[in-house]
């Protein structure tokens, strides 16, 4: 499994769940979405940094 894939997928799920609860708990939802997006960004950095070269 590629390094960085798990944080990216987990961050996507967390950001989506935060977006789903934005009407009931707007401040908590903003924090959860931010936390999820941070994981997406860090996972994407790992994916780009550790990709295999096909040259």
**Is the separation of the CB atoms in 51 and 41 below 8 Å?**
no
Residue 54 tokens read as 């096909």
How high is the pLDDT of residue 53? 53
- Is this structure's pTM higher than 0.85? no
How high is the pLDDT of residue 55? 42
**Is the separation of the CB atoms in 12 and 44 below 8 Å?**
no
Per-residue pLDDT of the chain (55 residues; tens, 9 = 90+): 788 899 999 999 999 999 999 999 999 999 999 999 999 999 999 999 887 654 4
């Amino acid at each position: 499994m590629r390094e960085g894939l798990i944080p990216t997928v987990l961050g996507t799920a967390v950001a989506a769940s935060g977006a789903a609860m934005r009407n009931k708990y707007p401040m908590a939802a903003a924090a959860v979405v931010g936390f999820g997006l941070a994981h997406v960004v860090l996972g994407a950095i790992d994916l780009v940094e550790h990709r295999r070269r096909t040259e």
